[in-house]
Amino acid sequence: MSLAAASVAGLVMATLGAAPSQASAAVDNAACRPDGLYRTPGVDVPYCSVYDTGGREKMGADHQRRIIGYFTGWRTGKKGDQPYLVSDIPWDKVTHLNYAFGHVGGDNKLSVGADGPTNEATGIDFPGVPAAQLDPTLPYKGHFNLLTKFKKQYPNVKTLISVGGWTETGGYFDDGGSRVNSGGFYSMTVNPDGSVNQAGIDTFAASSVDFIRKYGFNGVDIDYEYPTSMKDAGNPLDWQLANAKRGSLAKGYAALMKTLRESLDKAGAADGRHYLLSVAAPSSGYLLRGMETFQVAQYLDYVNIMSYDLHGAWNKYVGPNASLFDDGKDGELAAANVYGTGQYGGIGYLNADWAYHYFRGALPGGRINVGLPYYTRGFKNVQGGTNGLWGTAAATTCPAGSGLTACGDGAVGIDNIWNDKDDAGKESPAGSNPMWHAKNLEKGILPDYLSKYGVTDTALQGTYTRNYSDTLVAPWLWNDAKKVFLSTEDEQSVGAKADYIVNQGAGGAMIWELAGDYRWDATANGGKGEYVPGNTLTSLMYDRFKAASPYGAVRSTVPLPAQTLPVDVSFTNFALGDSNYPINPKLHIVNNSTLTLPGGTEFQFDYSNSAPGNAKDQSGFGLQVIRQDNPGPGNAGGLKGTYNRVSVKLPGWQSLAPGASVDMDFVYYLPVSTPSNWTVNVGGTLYGIRGDLARGAVDGGTPTPTTPPTTPPTTPPTTPPTTPPTTPPTTPPTTPPTTPPTTPAGCAGAPGWDAGATYATPTKVSWKGHYYQNKWWTKGDDPTASGAWGVWSDLGAC
pLDDT value of residue 4: 34
Q: 526-535: long-range contacts (C-beta < 8 A, 24 or more apart)?
A: 528/447, 528/448, 529/445, 530/440, 530/445, 530/447, 530/448, 531/436, 531/437, 531/439, 531/440, 531/443, 531/445, 531/447, 532/82, 532/436, 533/82, 533/84, 533/88, 533/434, 533/436, 534/436, 535/90, 535/93
pLDDT band at 254 (very low <50, low <70, confident <90, very high): very high
> Which domain CATH number covers 767?
2.10.10.20
46 within some domain: no
**Among candidate residues 234, 123, 281, 252, the one with its CA nearest the CA of residue 187:** 252
Q: Is the pLDDT of residue 245 over 90?
A: yes
* CATH number (domain holding residue 674): 2.60.40.290
Read off the pLDDT band of 128 (50, 70, 90).
Answer: very high
Q: Are residues 746 and 658 in the same domain?
A: no
On the question of pLDDT at 510 being above 90, the answer is yes
- Report d(CA 474, CA 493) in Å as an integer: 6
Residues 6 or more apart whose CB falls under 8 angstroms from that of 390 comprise 317, 318, 319, 329, 330, 331, 384
What pLDDT is attached to residue 203?
98
Q: Please determine, for residue 457, whether its predicted confidence score (pLDDT) is greater than 90.
A: no
Indicate if the pLDDT at residue 528 is higher than 60: yes
Residues 687 and 770 in one domain: no
Residues 660 and 767 in one domain: no
Mean pLDDT of 167-183: 94
> Residue range 465-484: average pLDDT?
98
**pLDDT exceeds 60 at position 727:** no
pLDDT at 405: 86
What total number of domains does the chain contain? 2
Rounded to whole angstroms, how far apart are CA atoms 217 and 773?
24
How does the average pLDDT of the chain come out, rounded? Answer: 89
For 533, counting Cβ atoms within 10 Å of its Cβ (0-12 exposed, 13-18 middle, 19+ buried), the class is buried
- Say yes or no to pLDDT of 707 above 50: no
At residue 764, the pLDDT reads: 87
* 649 and 748 assigned to the same domain: no
pLDDT-derived band at 791 (thresholds 50, 70, 90) equals low
Mean pLDDT of 156-182: 96
The residue among 699, 719, 750 that closes a domain is 699
Distance CA 672, CA 492 (A): 30
Give the per-residue pLDDT at 447: 95
Say if 640 falls within a structural domain.
yes
* Residue 529 pLDDT level (bands cut at 50, 70, 90): very high
Q: Give the dihedral of Cα atoms 147, 153, 154, 158; nearest 10 deg.
A: 30
664 and 750: one domain? Answer: no
CA 517 to chain centre: 20
- What DSSP designation does 249 have? H
CA dist 771 and 788 (Å) reads 14
Q: Does residue 691 share a domain with residue 584? A: yes
| pLDDT number for residue 376 | 98
Look up the pTM and report it: 0.86
The string over 390-428, giving b where at least 16 C-beta atoms fall within 10 Å of a residue's C-beta and e elsewhere, is bbbbebeebbeebbbeebbbbbbbbbbbbbeeeeeeebb
Per-residue pLDDT, 753: 82
Per-residue pLDDT tens digits for 270-289: 999 999 999 999 999 999 99
Q: 633: closest CA among 652, 619, 613?
A: 613
pLDDT digits (tens, 9 = 90+) for 636-677: 999 999 999 999 999 999 999 999 999 999 999 999 999 999
Q: What is the CA radius of gyration of the chain?
A: 27
What is the torsion angle, in degrees rounded to the nearest 10, for the CA atoms of residue 322, residue 325, residue 328 and residue 330? 0
In a domain, 625, yes or no: yes
Same domain, 578 and 679: yes
Q: pLDDT tens, 21-74?
A: 443 356 899 999 999 999 999 999 999 999 999 999 999 999 999 999 999 999
What is the share, in percent, of the chain residues with pLDDT greater than 90? 78
Q: In whole angstroms, what is the distance from residue 605 CA to residue 673 CA?
A: 12
pLDDT band per the 50, 70, 90 thresholds, residue 359: very high
Residue 385 has pLDDT above 90, yes or no: yes
pLDDT value at position 782? Answer: 80
Say yes or no: 789 and 668 in one domain. no
453 prior amide bond cis, ω within 30? no
Contact 160, 100 (CB under 8 A): no
Q: Is residue 271 in a domain? A: no
DSSP assignment string, 268-319: HHHHTSPPEEEEEEE--HHHHHTSTT-GGGGG-SEEEEE---SS-TTSSB--
Give yes or no for residue 750 having a pLDDT over 90: no
Whether the per-residue pLDDT at 726 is higher than 70: the answer is no
**396-448, pLDDT tens digit by residue?**
899 888 888 899 999 999 999 999 987 778 899 999 999 999 999 999 999 99
Strand order across the 567-572 sheet: 567-572, 586-591, 661-667, 616-617
Q: Which amino acid is at 418?
A: W
pLDDT of amino acid 786: 60
Q: Are 589 and 692 within one domain?
A: yes
Q: How confident is the model at residue 7 (pLDDT cuts 50, 70, 90)?
A: very low
pLDDT band at 770 (very low <50, low <70, confident <90, very high): confident
Residue 619 domain boundaries: 563-699
Does residue 190 sit within a domain? Answer: no
DSSP symbols for 14-43: HHH------SSS---GGGGPPTT----TT-
Q: Which of 730, 677, 685 is nearest to 703 (CA)?
A: 685
Please give the average per-residue pLDDT across 8-14, as a whole number: 39
Alpha carbons 516 and 376: distance in angstroms, whole number: 9
- Give the pLDDT score at 734: 31
CA-based nearest residue to 344, from 333, 355, 353, 352 = 333
Question: Residues 630, 742: one domain?
Answer: no
Size of the chain, expressed as the number of residues it contains: 798
Strand partners, 673: none
529 part of a folded domain? no
Share of the chain above pLDDT 70, in %: 89
Q: Does 657 lie in the same domain as 607?
A: yes
User: Within 10 A of 762 (CB to CB), how many other CB atoms are there?
Assistant: 11
Task: Dihedral sign for Cα 742, 743, 745, 747, please.
Answer: negative
Q: Are residues 628 and 685 in the same domain?
A: yes
- 740 lies in a domain? yes
